[in-house]
Amino acid sequence: MFPGQNSLRIVSKFFALFTLALPLLFTGCAWTGRTSTLDPKGPIAQIQFDLFMITVYVCVFLFVVVGGAFLYVVWKYRERPGQPETPIPQNSHGNPLIEIGLIASSVFMLVIIAVPTVQAIWITHDMPDRPDSHLGAYYGGEFLSPGEEEEVLTIRAEGYQWWWAFEYPQLGLTTGNEFVIPAGKVVRLELRSKDVIHSFWLPKIAGKVDLIPGRNNWMWIQAGNSYNEWLLDQGLPPMQEGHRAEYENYLEAEVYDMYYGQCAEFCGDSHAYMLFRTKVVSPEEFEAWVAEQKQPAPAPDGGGDWGAWFARALGDPSSLAGDPIQEGAYLYHTKGTCIQCHKVEGSPSSNGVLGPDLTKVGSRTSLAAGWMDHMSADGGINAGKQYENLVDWIYASQDIKPGNLMYYGDNALQHIINPEDPDANPLTREEVAKIATWLQTLQ
Ligand code: HEC
Ligand SMILES: [Cu+2]
């Protein structure tokens, strides 16, 4: 026994334990988890995944070769009983064959990674109308104006601290924190920021691109293969009809779904709560969604005329009593001061732009940038949970998403009561509940 052997034992015991515990770190990982990059669902994500796997194979190969050589040497020159003096092997420093061989093989490894990397960069920046493009067909839906059918569908994603606006300039609609795309169609995403640097990351469909103030970035996204790419994938000759039904089955089984993304660049207090959702649907369902989203909000009395409703509500608020929907709309437009920051298309005075567009807030499956969830098991909306979420959010959004910019400044003191001026008081929970009831009808 030589000095230090004891501490050596302790260290090796520690390492053994650590190695045993290591797998615990990975129990939170799932191959097909919501934001897994290992479960690509579109051509762009697929290219990135393939590139990642090439890098993994090269690294595993190197690990095995270098680790193997290391283990071989340790084993071969180990101390043997009865032979205290281990002979030092001859040093081969300066052996040109080995030196050049090592350099050449390292360069070779890098080339194996570099060639597909450059290819992938080209592919992800290709115009999708090139005949050899891996990207799919254009969306040519009925809501495009004449001349626009030939254009790729564009979605403008705008990052705000800590939520997302999604605008479809060709379709004339805007939504917040959740957007919908048709499967198998290429979409051009324009990425802008209103304040600080954010990063758009939708792992199953495409990688990450930053949103930088004062700069227009963009990326292609596409969920699922186009019909033609799918034919090629199946080993069938391209450009032929007759397999549409199988293609539909593929989309149904593997592509139609809710996808989850998030901001991937630290952007302040609530960065970790800056999520978003992308629903991928069939082209027909997409048309239906667009038609619905383009409708302005109906007047709160169920009728069509906001002006008349406004005049009546402001003239005689007591006439609304007993109808929580109308009372809620009234509070939203008056005491709630919500109109300063939110837009409800249709309403003559709710034109704010500091918060998400609420015209269709009732049709979304989440609130507060994907953080409060009320999606039902079948992908629809759980109305009870939605109501609860709306009330909790409007009543005390700071408790849910610390630092968020709803009710900033003076209004951060939203629960302090001032007996002198009841109208300046924060909304009571009952009032908030009425507003939530109205917002739920905005579908
Ligand atoms: C000072 C501006 C401001 C005012 C006033 C304001 N909001 Fe907001 N609101 C925001 C911002 C900013 C967000 C985004 C918060 C986030 O997710 O980080 C938001 C988010 C929301 C959301 C969630 C929307 C979504 O799709 O995620 C709802 C609902 C909402 N506000 C309702 C209201 C109501 C009702 C009122 C009035 C009682 C109100 N807001 C007043 C700025 C404001
Ligand atoms: Cu962000």
**Domains and their CATH numbers in the chain:** 153-237+244-293 (2.60.40.420), 306-440 (1.10.760)
Distance of CA 394 to the CA centre of its chain: 24
CA distance 264 to 144: 32
The rounded distance, in Å, linking the Cα atoms of 140 and 130 is 17
181 with 278: CB under 8 angstroms? yes
Ligand 1 atom 6: residue of nearest CA: 338
Contact 337 CB / ligand 1 (< 6 Å): yes
In sequence order, what DSSP letters do the residues of 175-207 get, joined into one string?
EESEEEEETTB-EEEEEEESSS-EEEEETTTEE
Lookup: tokens for 67: 């680790």
Among 162, 263, 338, 363, the mutation site with the greatest number of ligand 1 atoms within 8 A of its Cβ is 338
Ligand nearest to the CA of residue 397, numbered in listed order: 1
| pTM score of the predicted model | 0.87
Q: Which of 135, 189, 137, 138 is nearest to 165 (CA)?
A: 189
Amino acid letter, 52: F
Rounded to the nearest angstrom, the distance between the alpha carbon of 152 and the centre of ligand 2 is 26
Within 294-418, where are the H helices? 306-315, 324-333, 383-395, 397-400
| C-beta of 374 in contact with ligand 1 (< 6 A) | no
How many other C-beta atoms are found inside a 10 Å radius of the C-beta of residue 1?
5
What CA–CA distance (Å, rounded) separates 62 from 58? 6
For ligand 1, say whether the CB of 372 is within 6 Å of any of its atoms. Answer: no
Q: What is the pLDDT of residue 412?
A: 45
- Give the number of whichever ligand sits closest to the CA of residue 274: 2
Separation of CA 379 and ligand 1 centre (Å): 24
Q: Is 191 in the pocket of ligand 1 (CB under 6 A)?
A: no
Ligand 1 centroid–CA 397 distance in Å is 8
Q: Is 340 in the pocket of ligand 1 (CB under 6 A)?
A: yes
Q: Is 163 in the pocket of ligand 1 (CB under 6 A)?
A: yes
> Which residues fall within 8 angstroms of residue 142, CB to CB, at 6 or more apart?
287
Two tokens at 431?
A: 């009032």
Can you tell me which atom of ligand 1 is nearest the CA of 435? Answer: 35
Tell me if 355 CB under 6 Å of ligand 1.
yes
Q: Is 368 in the pocket of ligand 1 (CB under 6 A)?
A: yes
Q: Whose CA is nearest to atom 19 of ligand 1?
A: 355
Question: What is the rounded CA–CA span in Å between residue 407 and residue 340?
Answer: 10
- pLDDT 10s digit of each residue in the chain, 443 long? 455 567 777 777 877 788 777 777 766 667 888 888 899 998 899 999 999 999 999 999 999 999 999 999 889 888 788 776 766 777 767 788 888 998 999 999 999 999 999 999 888 887 676 666 667 777 777 777 777 767 789 999 999 999 999 999 999 999 999 999 999 888 999 999 999 999 999 999 988 999 999 999 999 999 999 888 899 889 988 778 889 999 999 999 999 999 999 999 999 989 999 999 999 999 899 999 999 999 999 999 987 799 999 999 999 988 898 899 999 999 999 888 899 899 999 999 999 999 999 999 999 999 999 999 999 998 899 999 999 999 999 988 888 898 888 875 444 445 555 556 666 667 888 999 999 999 999 99
Instruction: Check if the beta carbon of residue 136 is closer than 8 Å to that of residue 123.
Output: no
pLDDT score for 139: 77
Q: Distance (Å, rounded) from C-alpha 329 to C-alpha 339? A: 11
Which pLDDT value is given to residue 359? 95
CB neighbour list of residue 186: distance below 8 Å, 6 or more residues apart? 128, 135, 136, 137, 138, 152, 153, 220, 221, 222, 226
270 lines ligand 1 (CB under 6 A): yes
Q: What is the pLDDT of residue 144?
A: 77
> Which tokens is 64 given?
């095995």
The residues placing their C-beta within 5 Å of ligand 2, an ion, are: 198, 263, 267, 274
Judged on CB neighbours under 10 Å (0-12, 13-18, 19+), 258 is middle
Do the Cβ atoms of 268 and 161 come closer than 8 Å?
A: yes
Helix (H) or strand (E) holding 41: none
Residue 408, ligand 1, Cβ within 6 A: yes
- Cα Rg of the chain, angstroms: 29
Pocket lining: 338 vs ligand 1, CB cutoff 6 Å: yes
Q: Whose CA is nearest to atom 7 of ligand 1?
A: 406
Closest-lying ligand to the alpha carbon of 270? 1
Among residues 344, 314, 342, which one has the least CA distance to residue 326? 314
State in Å: Cα 342 to ligand 1 middle.
7
In the sheet that holds 173-176, the strands lie side by side as 173-176, 163-168, 153-160, 187-193, 217-221
Q: What are the b/e assignments for 350-371, b being 16+ CB within 10 Å?
A: bebeebbbbbbbbebbbbbbbb
CB 199 within 8 A of CB 210: yes
**Residue 338 CA, closest ligand 1 atom number:** 37
